[in-house]
Structure 1
Amino acid sequence: MTTFLQKSFALGFTALLTVACGGEDWQDSARGQPLVGDPFADRIVSFSPGTGAGFGQAQLPGIVLGAPQGAGAGSGSLDVLSLGFNGVIVLEFTDIAVTDGPGVDLLVFENAFIKPSGKPFAETGVVAVSDDGVSWHEFPCASSDVANNSPGCAGVTPVYSSSANGISPTDPAVAGGDGFDLADVGLTRARFVRIRDSGANGYAGTSGGFDLDAVAVVNGVQLP
């Protein structure tokens, strides 16, 4: 994360990242602490590309860490990593963990867009979360239900936030991307995010499948 972005988003992060309340020790110790750092993934734990992957790999790890670089409703960003057929990437948050707060807790940004015909162009991914990197909780993803915009999947909604336009990347109302609520999978905190290409996308060339831009914490807690 650059100094420019840290200055640009510092106030927004403090206001938008919510510390969850509860009886667990990590929650008790976090109360009243200001959240420091950025809300984006900090480290790639693993990447297993599938057939059709390749685009963006030369820019790893930075291309999937840090803020999204959305191009708006009518255009897909090129600041992405193509996972390929059934490709899987695991990311870790090291300074701020995702917590279960009001509404959306986590945003996943791909490069979906709306075609001139008005129809969406989407490449779907299946999202899972974990607090220890071992036990995973996967969100149901109806990738074949295209008529209803593949509910539960990532890679459906265009991305509006970028480091150049000042649109908050942690506000689900304006950022774009697809939101996930930890309560839907019965988890209270997550430090790891796994994204798997759904296998229901196009895979020609070297830019096939789900194209990951970034992930961002909406509700979070400071890690030690």
Structure 2
Amino acid sequence: MIRTIPELISIPVGCLFAIGLVGAAAAQEPQDYPMAQGGTITLPSGEISFADRVVRFEEGDPPSEREDARDPEAVLGPPDREEGGESAALTLGCHGSIVLEFTDNALIDAEGADLHVWEVGDDAEPTEVAISGDGDSWHEVGTVSGGTSSLDIDEVADEGASYRYVRLSDRDCLGRHGRWPGADIDAVAAVGTAERIVLDSGVLFGFDEAVLSEEAAQVLDDLAERIAEAPVSRLEIEGHTDSRGSASYNLELSERRAESVREYLASLPVLEDLSLDIRAVGEAEPVASNETEEGRQENRRVEILALP
């Protein structure tokens, strides 16, 4: 059975800092979390490091006999399954899989391990891990299994790339019979992470334009002050559009819009020590359906990755 989770709710500009750089110092404060196999792991960016949204859950066959072990949203946020507990984690089922999205951060290649998976339960069940920037092209990272739960994406990551999605797939279904067939997943976190700021293109630009509006200046000024207070060395500014118009035109428009934001931020003294790059995405990475006006509005955006 495949369950698709509703699309991400649109982020109002008034709630711009509800994701990414919310209380800049607190959002990036390192925190320790207990690992499923004992000991602790330090996440440099704290709670924003965890996966935020379930994109798709393909439940294996057989599934768990326990209804409370079949909720895919049990994977989201910090680990909360108590030692010896029988819930607060998702059982994938035999050869089941789940796709998760990071919305307020992005997975990046940093020094050492970059991704940690809380695979819990009595059996150490192999779980294949893949990452993607767009949800279509996937890089197979490796396998986690109980005591081996951290992965370095260095060998598969493109230079300077960031990744929005992670896919976990039960491989061998060791727990084929019983209440928890397949891997049991409590949480997933990006150890190597960059914060993500999402800006509504409707506030920054007029229709089909790439010239910043008067309102945009205040939004970007406020954003720059917050970025300046955070331990950030580089910004990657991404332009995104909906799918109306040709793909080539949308790519060009997204590039012009990203460049307008980059030029403005580069002109601000508080950000003079930062490196600013742009990435034109066009319509290639939607976060909602382009079949509705609400979805298209979500897709018309500028995303800024604040990298350490």
Bin for the TM-score computed over the shorter chain: 0.5 to 0.7
CA distance in 1, matches of 2:141, 2:190: 16
> Is 1:204 aligned to 2:177, yes or no?
yes
Deviation at 1:37, TM superposition (A): 6.4
Q: Which runs of 5+ in 2 are unaligned?
A: 1-23, 32-44, 198-308
Q: Deviations over 1:126-158 (max 9, x none)?
A: 000011111000123xxxxxxxxxxxx22322x
Who is 2:74 aligned against?
63
The amino acid that maps onto 1:14 is Q
Gap change, CA 1:213 and 1:178, over 3 Å in 2: same
What SS does the aligned partner of 2:188 have? strand
1:81 aligns with 2:90: yes
Unmatched 5+ residue regions in structure 1?
A: 1-9, 18-34, 114-120, 141-152, 158-176
- Aligned ranges for residues 134-149 of structure 1 at < 5 Å? 134-140=136-142
Match of 2:59 among 42, 49, 54: 49
- 1:174 match: none
Q: Where do residues 162-201 of structure 1 align in structure 2 (5 Å cutoff)? A: 178-187=149-158, 188-201=161-174
Separation of aligned partners in 2, 1:127 and 1:87: 12
Specify the alignment match of 1:220 in structure 2: 193
Check whether the contact 2:173–2:181 (CA below 8 A) recurs between aligned residues.
no
Shift of residue 91, structure 1, vs aligned partner? 0.3
Find out whether 1:100 has 2:109 as its counterpart: yes
**1:71 to 1:37, Cα distance in 2 relative to 1, 3 A:** closer
| Number of the residue aligned with 2:260 | none
SS in 1 for 2:28: helix
| Distance in 1 (alpha carbons) for counterparts of 2:177 and 2:46 | 42
- Give how far 1:81 is off: 0.8
1:112 and 1:155 in contact (8 A); partners too: no
Other structure's SS at 1:62 match: helix
Q: Using structure 2 for the length normalisation, give the TM-score.
A: 0.46
Cα separation, 1, equivalents of 2:78 and 2:93 = 22
Shift of 1:11: 6.6
Give 1:183 shift. Answer: 0.6
Match of 1:63, as an amino acid? A
TM-score, normalised with respect to structure 1: 0.62
3-state SS in 2 of match to 1:63:
helix
Query: How many Å separate the matches in 1 of 2:183 and 2:130?
Result: 15
Q: Which runs of 4+ in 1 moved over 2 A?
A: 10-13, 54-62, 69-72, 75-78
**Between structures 1 and 2, the one with greater helix share:** 2
Q: How far 1:69 moved relative to its partner?
A: 2.2
Higher relative contact order (CA 8 A, sep 6+): 1
Asked if 1:111 is matched to 2:120, the reply is yes
In the alignment, the residues of structure 1 paired with residue 93 and residue 72 of structure 2 have an alpha-carbon distance, to the nearest angstrom, of: 17
What is the CA-CA distance between 1:13 and the residue it aligns to?
5.5
**SS of structure 1 residue aligned to 2:134:** coil
What letter is aligned with 2:58?
S
Percent identity of equivalent pairs:
37
Give the counterpart letter for 2:191 in structure 1.
Answer: V
**Structure with the larger strand share:** 2
In structure 2, what is the equivalent of residue 130 of structure 1?
Answer: 132
CA distance in 1, matches of 2:26, 2:183: 29
Contact residue 52 and residue 207 of structure 1 kept, 8 A: no
Whole-Å separation in 1 of the counterparts to 2:67 and 2:130: 22
